[in-house]
């Protein structure tokens, strides 16, 4: 009898200990669940915040680009201006493509040849301008003024369209930095850009 009573006490203690442990585990579980919910909420609000910031960033970038374009139109450099390894002349006058080219050649230069994205981007600052590209020799084959065939073009959407036989390329910056070329009538009178190698300065 003595033995049974001891055994029963032990079981009661064990039961009580297990019950405590279960309660503790339950408490832990509840607090972990609450923590997880909190994290989920934080995550959601951070995601929303990030999306908002991204939208703001995009708006600001677009605004900056527009301001830069306006600034470029107002602060057009006089005479020749250097960029990278070339020197550029941005005209104030307006001429046909051939007259523009002649003007450049008379100055020991030629109409601009766009060799890369940096040059293309730089040239978005000066409004509508002729560039040294034409398909007047052979319709559809665009050639630079140095005789090389066009490889990378930065044409506007649906250009060149050879609308009523347009053969000379110009920049129309409103269409976006890397898609801004349009083929126009070579007889159109617009501004132009000449390019020549920048003078090497020895210092």
Closer residue to Ca ion in complex, CB, 124/159:
159
Contact 176, 154 (CB under 8 A): no
| The binder of Ca ion chosen from 81, 95, 99, 113 (CB under 5 A) | 113
Closer residue to Ca ion in complex, CB, 18/81:
81
| The binder of Ca ion chosen from 111, 126, 135, 155 (CB under 5 A) | 135
**CA-to-CA dists, residue 98 to 10, 75, 104, 130, 131, angstroms:** 108, 26, 10, 10, 11
Query: Taking CB under 5 A as the rule, does residue 150 contact Ca ion?
Result: no
Closer residue to Ca ion in complex, CB, 29/163:
163
Rounded to a whole number of angstroms, the minimum distance from the CB of residue 110 to Ca ion is: 10
Query: Taking CB under 5 A as the rule, does residue 88 contact Ca ion?
Result: no
**CA-to-CA dists, residue 156 to 94, 170, 181, angstroms:** 22, 10, 5
Residues 163-192, mask of contacts with Ca ion (x by CB under 5 A): x--xx--------------xx---------
Closer residue to Ca ion in complex, CB, 37/137:
137
**CA-to-CA dists, residue 104 to 91, 184, 198, angstroms:** 10, 19, 14
User: Between vectors from CA 9 to CA 5 and to CA 13, what angle results, nearest 5°?
Assistant: 170
What is the C-alpha separation between 112 and 109, in angstroms, rounded? 9
List residues binding Ca ion (CB under 5 A): 113, 115, 135, 159, 161-163, 166-167, 182-183
């Amino acid at each position: 009898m003595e033995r049974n009573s001891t055994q029963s006490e032990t079981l009661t203690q064990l039961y009580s200990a297990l019950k405590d442990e279960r309660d503790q585990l339950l408490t832990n579980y509840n607090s972990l669940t609450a923590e997880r919910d909190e994290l989920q909420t934080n995550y959601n609000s951070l995601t929303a915040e990030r999306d908002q910031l991204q939208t703001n960033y995009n708006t600001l970038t677009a605004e900056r680009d527009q301001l830069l374009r306006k600034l470029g139109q107002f602060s057009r450099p006089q005479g020749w201006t250097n960029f990278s390894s070339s020197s550029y002349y941005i005209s104030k006058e307006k001429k046909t493509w051939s007259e523009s080219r002649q003007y450049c050649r008379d100055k020991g230069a030629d109409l601009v040849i766009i060799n890369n994205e940096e040059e293309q981007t730089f040239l978005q600052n000066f409004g509508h301008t002729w560039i040294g590209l034409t398909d007047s020799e052979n319709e559809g084959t665009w050639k630079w003024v140095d005789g090389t065939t066009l490889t990378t073009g930065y044409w506007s959407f649906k250009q060149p369209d050879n609308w009523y036989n347009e053969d000379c390329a110009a920049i129309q910056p409103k269409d976006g930095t890397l898609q801004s070329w349009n083929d126009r009538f070579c007889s159109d009178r617009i501004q132009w850009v000449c390019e020549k190698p920048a003078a090497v300065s020895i210092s």
